[in-house]
Chain A
């Protein structure tokens, strides 16, 4: 309901605007046309209608009264006046009581009057007006007096007699010496008195009354026009007040106009132009009738509204005005057809259709040109055809190339998006124009991305719950374990127990210690793999860290009887990492090497800096001399100074750490298998340790910003770690 009301309100406001403009523009146009037609007449009519309050101010009245005066004067001075007097008298009688006249020739005593008295005119020189009369014109042989509503009119003033009293001047009544002009007249007294409110005279055609009627008619006509004009302004004003609402309807008009092809609009414009021209030609003659006036107003209004609609169309539809043409519509129709085809076929089809259309246009243009050049017929349609074909041809090429460009750039975006998704961007969607060739592909890709996003989120959620679970479980395990460890220790210290009981207790003690390590390791591993772990990155020297780790484990190394061959560059190898966690990594790797190496074999610890491509996988051949015995079992290898290789490059140079040992058992498993969280080197899971050492080493390396790999080559076990080097001053 509300919407309907709103809709109709918009329409009403718009109609106000429309009607208001029509009225105001129509009246102004009419005024201008009339002004042009009869400048003075129109201005005088306007003046009369709006400023002449009394008919005695009008030219018509002054003119008529002057003529009446002249009639009387002529009648009095005429030689053979009998006929004339009667005629004048009957003429003046028509005015009835509206006009009192008194004319007397003092010389021959002829008197013309519809009144007994002379109103004292002869005696005093100025008449006494009876009640209800307010205008007189009086001539007493020498001079003329006119008085209107008690005010004397200076008839001898040049401006006054021009304004209506020209007849008096013309016939010489205003001459300095009237006797010279007309000796008889100087013996005459003429008095005309006009009633204040001129009335209709029964059965007679009162000219004065007619003038009054005409003035009233004019006044009421202009009054009505003026009211309508005001209404027009009010309507315009109202529509301006509600311009927002009006705009709603303008938008509707814009939408409506937007549906039409520009060709139709051009034709409509031409038709309107034709009508306008026709009307102006047809009625552009001298003099003007009401019909002609209306036709002119109509023309102007048509032009105004046409321009208005063009304006609205351009404002609302902008480029679309030109874009919505027959060619585009044809292309659209073609496109709906093409869309049903698979992409490859559609693209080929487009090329074929394009070539075909261009060929047809070239042929049309060619034929038109030949006829233009050599034909004898009317050339205009062919010139038109030639230009049109040419224009359409160029336009089609433009459209094809533009479309091709868009598609290529969309393919580029699609490729970028695929790359972004590959790199883990699951948030930013690819938005293409729904009309684009790649739109469906982009939508599908977005769906895939969404799917990945959901999967990733679900995985993160499950990892988090796993961490929570492990945290809780490990806590719940630790509490009873505390009791177990304490009481086993107490038991172990108990004296007087037999040897085999002591052995049993020892086993329980060992196992509970192992359980302790296992729980701690499990907890660490879960946190690291789920990314819930805190990493404190700082600049550390990897070489130093490995030395520290080796030195820290020196006792174990000595006990193992294994020989450690260590090859670490002299120059520092700075990386950004978490030292505590990396210590765990190397500790785990070295303790693994100690546990699982063949007795008496050598364990190699190599650190090399490089660009991560060349020697990374293999490490350096150990051809150095074992010259520096640090401790009995650890040898520092003489190494090539890496400094020259590192400096001067700020590319992602890497440091590779490799720990190699020969296994003391057959490694019948793959690299992946051993990294499985609970895998054990010997698959037996019997000795101490949690079996999580490698998994922890790998997870910790990764959270510390490194790469971790295991290579198994026969009996050789290799752990390879890679970190990005940073500059000396970083």
Chain B
């Protein structure tokens, strides 16, 4: 946190046609030390984007005049800043659409304010400290999105923030991160991590998975990295 404050107040743009929601979000973000700009439709948002040095945008989809999706497309034409969509549309297809046109995260209404703040911080951290991804890339690092596993120092960071994992948890993350996207059955994880024949693996592995999720995920109920493939196994998403 300290490094952000040193750099002066970071500007965040909140766009929603519901003023109360904008105000509430502003209060939370200002409490965290950000400067907040407010817009109530897509055009206002575009105006503010061009005239101010905005570092992150929170934007609703269903708005009058210019809707959120169109605004995101327009913003992406000129800016590389993180965009988080806030929407009451909660279906998978809506999320996929929002992320595929250039948003970095998708938060459904009604949201938990603290979770929203955590996501804002995470996006900013990634944008500001890890923005130059190619330059700082190390040879011995396993990555999936903001999740990094440094094999040399045996440390795990999420969006640049170090995470403390136990040795077993570390091994599980390493195994899954070495094969992002591949689904591992509990038995295989058990045998490869514990180095002994699997017995009663499901429960043991699941307990560890849950612990890891609580450490690396913003919302463990809706994990971004470490996912359960129900009825098959576990995987870390290839992002």
Chain A residue contacts of B109, Cβ below 8 A = 478-479, 481-482
Instruction: Check A523 against B90 for contact (C-beta < 8 Å).
Output: yes
Chain A residue contacts of B20, Cβ below 8 A = 483, 487
**Whole-angstrom CA separation of A550 from B231 in the bound complex:** 12
What is the distance, in angstroms, from B134's C-beta to the closest C-beta of chain A?
A: 35
Contact A545-B203, Cβ < 8 Å, known A485-B110, A485-B113? no
Decide yes or no whether A516 CB sits under 8 A from chain B: yes
Contact flags (1/0) for A491-513 with B, using CB distance below 8 Å?
Answer: 00000000000000000000010
Chain A residue contacts of B110, Cβ below 8 A = 478, 481-482, 484-485, 512, 516
**Whole-angstrom CA separation of A672 from B114 in the bound complex:** 41
Contact flags (1/0) for A215-256 with B, using CB distance below 8 Å?
Answer: 000000000000000000000000000000000000000000
- Which one of A474, A483, A551 lies within 8 Å of B207 (CB-CB)? A551
- Which residues of chain A in 531-561 are interfacial with respect to chain B, using CB atoms and an 8 Å cutoff? 534, 538, 540-542, 544-545, 547-552, 554
Chain B residue contacts of A544, Cβ below 8 A = 185-186, 202, 231-233
Of residues B93, B185, B202, which shows the largest number of chain A Cβ atoms within 10 Å of its Cβ? B202
Chain A residue contacts of B151, Cβ below 8 A = none
What is the distance, in angstroms, from B224's C-beta to the closest C-beta of chain A?
A: 16
Contact A580-B230, Cβ < 8 Å, known A479-B109, A481-B110? yes
Contact flags (1/0) for A167-203 with B, using CB distance below 8 Å?
Answer: 0000000000000000000000000000000000000
Decide yes or no whether A645 CB sits under 8 A from chain B: no
Instruction: Check B21 against A554 for contact (C-beta < 8 Å).
Output: no
**Whole-angstrom CA separation of A544 from B134 in the bound complex:** 40
Decide yes or no whether A577 CB sits under 8 A from chain B: yes
**Whole-angstrom CA separation of A542 from B203 in the bound complex:** 15
Decide yes or no whether A636 CB sits under 8 A from chain B: yes
Chain B residue contacts of A459, Cβ below 8 A = none
Instruction: Check B229 against A547 for contact (C-beta < 8 Å).
Output: no
- Of B23-31, B36-44, B47-55, B72-80, the stretch lying at the interface with chain A is B23-31
Decide yes or no whether B153 CB sits under 8 A from chain A: no
**Whole-angstrom CA separation of A636 from B201 in the bound complex:** 12
Chain B residue contacts of A534, Cβ below 8 A = 92-93
Instruction: Check A548 against B18 for contact (C-beta < 8 Å).
Output: no
Instruction: Check B231 against A545 for contact (C-beta < 8 Å).
Output: yes
Instruction: Check B200 against A636 for contact (C-beta < 8 Å).
Output: yes
Chain A residue contacts of B230, Cβ below 8 A = 540, 545, 548-549, 579-580, 582-583
Contact A630-B24, Cβ < 8 Å, known A485-B112, A534-B92? no
Instruction: Check A548 against B113 for contact (C-beta < 8 Å).
Output: no
Decide yes or no whether A666 CB sits under 8 A from chain B: no
Instruction: Check B185 against A490 for contact (C-beta < 8 Å).
Output: no
Decide yes or no whether B81 CB sits under 8 A from chain A: no
**Whole-angstrom CA separation of A479 from B88 in the bound complex:** 7
- Chain A: which residue is nearest B25 at the CB level? A486
Decide yes or no whether B46 CB sits under 8 A from chain A: no
Chain B residue contacts of A634, Cβ below 8 A = 203
**Whole-angstrom CA separation of A579 from B210 in the bound complex:** 18
Decide yes or no whether A205 CB sits under 8 A from chain B: no
Instruction: Check B21 against A475 for contact (C-beta < 8 Å).
Output: no
**Whole-angstrom CA separation of A538 from B206 in the bound complex:** 21
Chain A residue contacts of B233, Cβ below 8 A = 544
**Whole-angstrom CA separation of A538 from B203 in the bound complex:** 23
What is the distance, in angstroms, from A88's C-beta to the closest C-beta of chain B?
A: 131
Chain B residue contacts of A551, Cβ below 8 A = 202-203, 205-207, 210
- Which one of A478, A523, A577, A628 lies within 8 Å of B200 (CB-CB)? A628
Contact A482-B21, Cβ < 8 Å, known A544-B185, A631-B203? yes
Chain A residue contacts of B206, Cβ below 8 A = 547-548, 551-552, 554
**Whole-angstrom CA separation of A552 from B214 in the bound complex:** 12
Contact flags (1/0) for A578-592 with B, using CB distance below 8 Å?
Answer: 011011000000000
Instruction: Check B200 against A579 for contact (C-beta < 8 Å).
Output: no
Instruction: Check A554 against B203 for contact (C-beta < 8 Å).
Output: yes
- Chain A: which residue is nearest B112 at the CB level? A485
Instruction: Check B231 against A542 for contact (C-beta < 8 Å).
Output: yes
Contact flags (1/0) for B58-97 with A, using CB distance below 8 Å?
Answer: 0000100000000000000000000000001110110000
**Whole-angstrom CA separation of A545 from B228 in the bound complex:** 10
**Whole-angstrom CA separation of A552 from B231 in the bound complex:** 12
Decide yes or no whether B111 CB sits under 8 A from chain A: yes
Number of interface residues of B (CB under 8 A): 35
Instruction: Check B112 against A548 for contact (C-beta < 8 Å).
Output: no
- Chain A: which residue is nearest B18 at the CB level? A479
- Chain B: which residue is nearest A580 at the CB level? B230
Decide yes or no whether A468 CB sits under 8 A from chain B: no
Chain A residue contacts of B229, Cβ below 8 A = 579
Decide yes or no whether A626 CB sits under 8 A from chain B: no
Chain A residue contacts of B231, Cβ below 8 A = 540-542, 544-545, 548, 577, 579, 582-583
What is the distance, in angstroms, from A605's C-beta to the closest C-beta of chain B?
A: 13
Decide yes or no whether A520 CB sits under 8 A from chain B: yes
Decide yes or no whether A489 CB sits under 8 A from chain B: yes
What is the distance, in angstroms, from B85's C-beta to the closest C-beta of chain A?
A: 14
- Chain A: which residue is nearest B199 at the CB level? A628
Instruction: Check B228 against A490 for contact (C-beta < 8 Å).
Output: no
Chain A residue contacts of B90, Cβ below 8 A = 478, 520, 523
Instruction: Check B21 against A483 for contact (C-beta < 8 Å).
Output: yes
- Chain A: which residue is nearest B233 at the CB level? A544
- Chain A: which residue is nearest B231 at the CB level? A540
What is the distance, in angstroms, from A580's C-beta to the closest C-beta of chain B?
A: 6
- Chain A: which residue is nearest B24 at the CB level? A486
Chain B residue contacts of A479, Cβ below 8 A = 18, 21, 88, 109
**Whole-angstrom CA separation of A582 from B21 in the bound complex:** 35
Of residues A486, A487, A534, A634, which shows the largest number of chain B Cβ atoms within 10 Å of its Cβ? A486
Contact flags (1/0) for B99-126 with A, using CB distance below 8 Å?
Answer: 0000000001111111000000000000
**Whole-angstrom CA separation of A481 from B200 in the bound complex:** 43
Instruction: Check B203 against A486 for contact (C-beta < 8 Å).
Output: no
Instruction: Check A630 against B21 for contact (C-beta < 8 Å).
Output: no
- Chain A: which residue is nearest B60 at the CB level? A479
Instruction: Check B24 against A547 for contact (C-beta < 8 Å).
Output: no
What is the distance, in angstroms, from B98's C-beta to the closest C-beta of chain A?
A: 15
**Whole-angstrom CA separation of A552 from B208 in the bound complex:** 10
Chain A residue contacts of B205, Cβ below 8 A = 551
**Whole-angstrom CA separation of A548 from B202 in the bound complex:** 6
Chain B residue contacts of A523, Cβ below 8 A = 90
What is the distance, in angstroms, from B119's C-beta to the closest C-beta of chain A?
A: 14
Chain B residue contacts of A547, Cβ below 8 A = 186, 202-203, 206
**Whole-angstrom CA separation of A84 from B234 in the bound complex:** 149
What is the distance, in angstroms, from B171's C-beta to the closest C-beta of chain A?
A: 18
What is the distance, in angstroms, from B145's C-beta to the closest C-beta of chain A?
A: 21
Chain B residue contacts of A486, Cβ below 8 A = 21, 24-25, 28, 113
**Whole-angstrom CA separation of A424 from B110 in the bound complex:** 41
Contact flags (1/0) for B188-208 with A, using CB distance below 8 Å?
Answer: 000000000000101101110
**Whole-angstrom CA separation of A489 from B28 in the bound complex:** 10
Chain A residue contacts of B232, Cβ below 8 A = 538, 540-541, 544, 579
Chain A residue contacts of B207, Cβ below 8 A = 551, 554
**Whole-angstrom CA separation of A554 from B186 in the bound complex:** 16
Of residues B93, B200, B203, which shows the largest number of chain A Cβ atoms within 10 Å of its Cβ? B203
- Which residues of chain A in 313-368 are interfacial with respect to chain B, using CB atoms and an 8 Å cutoff? none
- Which one of A475, A489, A583 lies within 8 Å of B113 (CB-CB)? A489
Chain B residue contacts of A548, Cβ below 8 A = 186, 202, 206, 228, 230-231
23 A-B residue pairs with CB within 8 Å: A474-B88, A482-B109, A482-B111, A485-B110, A485-B112, A486-B24, A486-B25, A487-B20, A489-B113, A516-B110, A538-B232, A540-B230, A540-B232, A541-B231, A544-B231, A545-B231, A547-B202, A548-B228, A552-B206, A552-B210, A577-B231, A583-B228, A583-B231
Contacts from B to A (Cβ < 8 Å): 18, 20-21, 24-25, 27-28, 62, 88-90, 92-93, 108-114, 185-186, 200, 202-203, 205-207, 210, 228-233
Kindly list 18 other residue pairs between chains A and B, CB separation below 8 angstroms, not including A538-B232, A551-B206: A475-B62, A475-B89, A478-B108, A478-B110, A483-B18, A484-B110, A485-B113, A487-B24, A523-B90, A534-B93, A540-B232, A545-B231, A547-B202, A548-B228, A548-B230, A552-B228, A554-B210, A583-B228
